[in-house]
Amino acid sequence: MNNRIMQVVTGFAILAMAVSAGAAGISNDAVKIGVLTDMSGVYSAIGGEGSVTAAKMAVADFGGKVLGKKIEIISADHQNKADIASTKAREWADTDHVDMIIGLLNSGCALAVQKIGTDKKMVTIATGAGSTALTNKDCGPYGIHYVYDTYSLPKVAASAIIDHGGKSWFFLTADYAFGHSLEENTAAFVKKHGGEVLGQVRHPLATSDFSSYLLQAQASGAKVIGLANAGGDFINSVKQAREFGIVQGGQTIAGMLVFLSDVKSLGLDVAQGMEFATAFYWDRNDASREWSQRYFAKTGAMPTMNQAGVYSATMNYLKAIKAAGTDNADAVIKSLQGMKIDDFFSVNGHLRPDGTMVHDMFLVEVKKPSESKGPWDLLKIIKQVPGDEAFMPMSEGTCPLVMKK
Amino acid sequence: MHLSPQMVLAQLMLGLNNGVFYALLSLGLAVIFGLLNIINFAHGALYMLGAFVALLGYTTLGPLLGMPDFHLNYWAALIVAPLVVGLFGILIEKTMLKRLYKVDHLYGLLLTFGLALILEGVFSNYFNVSGTSYNGKPAILSGVVNLGFMFFPTYRLWSIGLSLVVCFGTWYVIERTKLGAYLRAGTENPSLVQAFGVNVPLMVTLTYGYGVALAAFAGVVAAPIYSVSPIMGAETIITVFAVVVIGGMGSIMGSIVTGLSLGMVEGLTKVIYPPAANTVIFFMMILVLLVKPEGLFGKDQ
Amino acid sequence: MNRYLWIVLVLVGLAAPFVFYPVFVMQLLCFALFACAFNLLLGYTGLLSFGHAAFFGGAAYVTGFLVKHAGFTPGLGVLAGTAVAALMGYLFGSLAIRRQGIYFAMITLALAQVVYFVALKAPFTGGEDGLQDVPRGMLFGVIDLGHTYHVAGRPLELNLYYFVFAVFCLGFWLIYRAIHSPFGQVLKAIRENEPRTVSLGYRVDRFKLLAFVLSAALAGLAGSTKSLVFQLASLTDVNWHTSGEVVLMTLLGGLGTVLGPVVGAVTVVTLQSELSAIGSWVTAVIGATFVICVLAFRRGMVGELGKYLKRSL
């Protein structure tokens, strides 16, 4: 008798351990926004906690409520792992009834989450992933690609670099979806503008020692070493290139995706003269300055284009809900597509059916130390490129949603 | 990729650079295994700890002590970090490892595995996983040296030289001095050596401390090159295990020579057939384990 | 073991998706099977493999690839994954069995690292991004595993759940039968005193290899199923951290007990899920659990309970 009871107890002990995983509260009385990004790794300075702050700022500025429902923000760290990102997104959709997921730094994670968004009818806004696959072969009816992509970046920057004499290129590429996409698109532009690609070498994401890859780049003799990587990887590549005398040897380092935080980290002595494309610069006009100062007050750093993009996207998403009268994904997307997205972040912006949020992009150059009048006075805007010119025309794309029509 | 002699030499130099770190770390592991018969899975985490002591000593120690301009400089860190981490290692040995000497060796492995995870987890919470720069590199070691076939950063050259000195110094002490003789005898027959009046448990503790200190020393030397990250040890430790196994689990010279050679083999592979660069060491380990399980330089136990 | 306990557990399993988040329970089942398979090798044969993630993750990739790109039905995909894991087990086992103790563990670790780097570089695995968007498919061509029923406002993928539950029960039953057979007795003898077993005339190497292959195959079964549940196979699955985690699950639950690995797996996976909000502390907590277990709790939860009840659980 005793034994039997103990056995049943053991059985329930097993049960008890899973209790905490029980069904969470069902909350359809709130609009829930999930910020899923890299909080601790190679891209954390670009998005990270700053993205969460930006989203919260948008909610607060909007008034905290939409259509009488409360707006809630939750966040999680995907650690640049696609499986963590997709599991989190799935869980958020199934148990927390999240209506929109934003952030999604890291293309591998963004692609995984966008698929889940398609399955679960949940809006996903990638404000930090680059891969053009998001709006081409892997596009989704609820997926939005908001800030930049690996087509617009080289389109805006590559021609300028080639015009300055950089005709032969060698790529140092982060070995995953984003890096491949950026390398492919940049190589295409280089060739189109009369340059040639001498070779490439791929490195694992979050590498600390680029020496052997940089030596190969050096040995190739290319005039330009194109860095198809970002964040911590970009910073380390540039620093180590200097250590090995690559820049002194006459080769130019071209970063294809550079953020304000990278320039700050490298410092003007190292980064001066670098040209790259960006979607946002805090010091562009009064509106951007005003918002950025507010952001600075909360975080102690000026915003990167991702963080500004999170604010803008969240704000516009909430406006779209208000206009549509519901938080149903189909209706909200339709509403967003009908809006003009024009604020301190996005100039002449609009959302295309393939998910691309087209807006003007900027070609910038890093200032020389002598030109800078403040700790964050780092860039000067050389050119403003209209959105329709910067982004790939939808007709050339491979998004199944668009091609059907 | 055409194989120019310069390219090969350059990658060999880089390989040698990685190799000295493999040598330093596998030396520490070999010392610990030879004496305590414990596979110290935490070795990588202790290497990381050494690098962090150097980093934090440089950046936060000053403000913590109320002296904002104080920086524990690189030279001091070379001594302080091994001491601090070595003491930490001794603490671990006295409180935890000692209890496992009587049980299956595999539990020691699992304990140190757990310790490694704890250290990695705690540091990952406070520091960026992709690395923080160590800015304390002395000016005298900055700059570049022209080796003819490549420009090699002065600091890396220094790291190779210093590490080789420490490696061969350790080998000399253990294999050629009286102290080393006591150590070796103490491992083979502790009770007999104890009967001669030598304090064997103290020797064992100090030796473990030294092995750990070696790991921390490697961490300080590595900080200016690889930047300091909570997972820098985890990435290296598995490769270092392979080095120790290939060289011979208790063999000092074996670890040094194998570490250096394997670093260079890895470098060569990066040029000849890059996709295999990460796996070549493991293939070699499997080969050695099947053909000469005591390792290339090991003695049959 | 009393029949009532089994009935209660099966009933709990059948009712679970209605009470708990089904994907989470499926995750528990996959890892529980993984741990049970591992326990067969460590708890019952006494062989510590530090590279079991190679079988778990390797099978996940194989199944994911076949179901996504080669049009395999989920049933066939899982079978294929398991078969590949068994084959890997045979190859790895043949190499590793030649050595003992620490060396055995080191060989398995090295082999698993090779698998990891192959997964990183091979074109079909998707590298860092992983093998994504694995369809759940139609089981036997008729049952849609991706179908979502709506019960009381909650979306439940019941078809998939019962498939996973069935797989788990099958795997668990196989292990149970193996342990309680003459084969299992020999394995225990090998664990207790190998030289004695040799002297009794048993071809010990053959038994070890068979145990290894069985353990690898069932670990692969767990991995294959997991790739269907999460629709994803990634580098995490073949990483040595995962190999370490399964050791912990088995150790924590109780080496050499039947239910131990299940308890251990449920605890570890739940811990990870609950603590995921606090980020990297999970790693530290897992490490601390390891340390405590090794120092003071070597029999594991079920082992301690069994000792208290004075019967083997």
Interface residue C289 vs chain B (CB under 8 A): yes
pLDDT of residue C115: 93
pLDDT of residue C84: 96
Most C CBs within 10 Å, among A94, A107, A207, to test the C interface: A94
3-state secondary structure of C133: coil
Interface residue C269 vs chain B (CB under 8 A): no
* For range B106-117, the mean pLDDT: 88
A101 and A236 belong to one structural domain = no
For residues A206, A212, A215, A216, the Cα torsion angle rounded to the nearest 10 degrees is: -90
A118 and A160 belong to one structural domain = no
The CA distance from B27 to the nearest CA of chain C, in Å, is 18
Count the domains in chain A.
2
In a domain, A166, yes or no: yes
In a domain, A353, yes or no: yes
Lowest-confidence segment of A361-365, B185-189, C72-76 by average pLDDT = B185-189
Interface residue C15 vs chain B (CB under 8 A): no
Q: What does the DSSP 8-state code read for residue B250?
A: T
The residue in chain A having the minimum alpha-carbon distance to the alpha carbon of residue C27 is A87
Interface residue B286 vs chain C (CB under 8 A): yes
Report ipTM for this prediction: 0.85
Asked if residue C279 has pLDDT above 70, the reply is: no
Neighbours of chain C (3+ CB pairs under 8 A): A, B
Tell me how far CA of residue B57 lies from CA of B9, B76, B225, in angstroms.
36, 9, 17
CB atoms within 10 A of CB A249: 11
A338 and A289 belong to one structural domain = yes
> How big is the CA angle at B223 (ends B220 and B224), to the nearest 5 degrees?
120
> Are residues A216 and B153, on separate chains, in Cβ contact within 8 Å?
no
B5-291 to CATH, choices 2.30.30, 1.20.120, 1.10.3470, 3.30.43: 1.10.3470
Which of C25, C132, C155 has the CB atom closest to A94's CB atom?
C155
The range of the structural domain enclosing residue A372 comes to 152-283+361-390
A338 and A367 belong to one structural domain = no
3-state secondary structure of A320: helix
Residue indicated by tokens 């003819």: B148
The CA distance from B127 to the nearest CA of chain C, in Å, is 10
A191 and A304 belong to one structural domain = no
Interface residue B225 vs chain A (CB under 8 A): yes
> Are residues A243 and B144, on separate chains, in Cβ contact within 8 Å?
yes
Q: Where are the domains of chain C?
A: 21-239
> Which residues of A fall below an 8 Å CB-CB distance to B?
40-42, 44-45, 79, 199, 201, 206, 208-209, 211-212, 215-216, 219, 231-233, 236, 239, 243-245, 249
The residue in chain A having the minimum alpha-carbon distance to the alpha carbon of residue C23 is A91
In a domain, A13, yes or no: no
Distance CA A251, CA A237 (A): 14
Which of A4, A15, A17 has the CB atom closest to C2's CB atom?
A4
Question: Which distant-in-sequence residues (6+ apart) come within 8 Å of C79 by Cβ?
Answer: none
Q: What does the block give as tokens for A360?
A: 């003007």
Which chain B positions have a beta carbon within 8 Å of C114's beta carbon? 279, 282-283
First to last CA, chain C: 7
Neighbours of chain A (3+ CB pairs under 8 A): B, C
A296 and A277 belong to one structural domain = no
Its pTM stands at 0.87
Q: Where are the domains of chain B?
A: 5-291
3-state secondary structure of A330: helix
Distance CA A184, CA C10 (A): 53
Interface residue B291 vs chain C (CB under 8 A): no
A277 and A381 belong to one structural domain = yes
Helices (H), chain C: 3-19, 22-42, 53-69, 74-96, 101-121, 158-179, 182-192, 194-199, 204-230, 240-253, 260-275, 281-296, 300-309
CB atoms within 10 A of CB C64: 32
> Are residues A13 and C20, on separate chains, in Cβ contact within 8 Å?
no
Residue A244 sits in a domain of what CATH number? Answer: 3.40.50.2300
Tell me how far CA of residue C203 lies from CA of A276, C209, C213, in angstroms.
68, 10, 16
In our burial notation (b when 16+ CB lie closer than 10 A, e otherwise), range B51-71 reads bbbbbbbbbebeeeeeeeeeb
A184 and A244 belong to one structural domain = yes
- Please report, in tens digits, the pLDDT of each residue of chain A (405 residues total): 445 544 545 445 454 444 433 333 223 778 999 999 988 788 888 888 899 999 999 999 999 888 888 999 999 988 888 888 988 999 899 888 899 999 998 898 999 999 999 989 999 999 988 889 999 989 999 999 999 999 999 999 988 888 887 889 999 999 888 899 999 999 999 999 889 999 999 888 888 888 889 988 988 889 999 999 998 889 989 988 888 888 888 888 999 999 998 998 888 888 888 899 999 999 999 999 999 999 999 999 999 999 999 999 999 999 999 998 888 889 999 999 999 999 999 989 999 999 999 999 999 999 999 999 988 999 999 999 999 999 999 888 899 988 875
Phi, psi of A29 (to 5 degrees): -95, 10
